[in-house]
Structure 1
């Protein structure tokens, strides 16, 4: 078995690819500025990061979710959100959409899923939610690919 080469850590990534970091960060700032609830977007980021098993993003977004006032019960039950009985219809629609766009298959963006999302979100909000899901999936793939250590 060969020894693997070391990979750049988070700081090395930020320092070595500042334009990429700035671009991904700009997506987050744009969603935050849109008025979409921070607690909701953090739940979505956490669920996507759970699916993708990105330890760095999980640790990072757990802290932000707590600062945003997401109740601990929701953080504890997020992996089983569909059966937990504590998530609002709006949160459930967002989480279902996030899972579908993360676990892409032939029918991920079905009309039924979009209709369910739109029953809870305006078109503008749905666009911002879509960007949130795309951005966290990108961050997860970067964090996993470069094996970022979870923040202290």
Structure 2
């Protein structure tokens, strides 16, 4: 698959703003392990190979166990995730596959058990951002691994 376009070249101002917002979200109070799991799960659901590749490599570099990353699609049945991580993954799925009735009261109640109001807002931003990045990269057909050197992802040891 050849890249269709480079949004960093066509709309550099918007991409800089999006990148800056992503950095601000990264600095939020949400645990980086949870944020990485959210990014992996949304990228899986959206079918964004480029983003999934990046976030799996980031997880490996950050010390995430590979078996946990393998279990992200089956998180409901896996004993490898905490209740808080499962709540974040449930919200990720609800917001990524937004149904006719939005996020159910049951999903919100589960999330509320584990996160404060400000953390729920930060988590919502993180989920929204990865969904936007997925859509941008899916349209662009960005080449998997093409940002590895720029982001230091070769340290993961997952060369293609």
Q: Same fold (TM over 0.5)?
A: yes
Residue 37 (structure 1) aligned with residue 17 (structure 2): no
Residue 21 (structure 1) aligned with residue 15 (structure 2): yes
Q: Which runs of 5+ in 1 are unaligned?
A: none
Once residues 10 and 106 of structure 2 are traced to their aligned partners in structure 1, the CA distance between those partners, rounded to angstroms, is 42
Do the aligned partners of 1:27 and 1:132 also contact (CA within 8 Å) in 2?
no
Do the aligned partners of 2:46 and 2:134 also contact (CA within 8 Å) in 1?
yes
Alignment coverage as a number of residue pairs: 145
Do the aligned partners of 2:87 and 2:114 also contact (CA within 8 Å) in 1?
yes
The corresponding residue for 2:74 is 80
Cα distance per residue 1:32-79 (max 9 Å; x no partner): 222211111011010000001101001111111122222111101111
Once residues 88 and 116 of structure 1 are traced to their aligned partners in structure 2, the CA distance between those partners, rounded to angstroms, is 13
Residue 7 (structure 1) aligned with residue 29 (structure 2): no
Instruction: Indicate how the Cα distance of structure 1 residues 6 and 126 shifts in structure 2: closer, same or farther if over 3 A, else same.
Output: closer
The corresponding residue for 1:101 is 95
Normalization by structure 1: what TM-score? 0.89
Give the SS at the match of 1:83. coil
Give the SS at the match of 2:77. helix
Normalization by structure 2: what TM-score? 0.84
The corresponding residue for 2:113 is 119
Q: Which runs of 5+ in 2 are unaligned?
A: 147-160
Once residues 21 and 101 of structure 2 are traced to their aligned partners in structure 1, the CA distance between those partners, rounded to angstroms, is 26
CA-atom RMSD in angstroms: 1.6
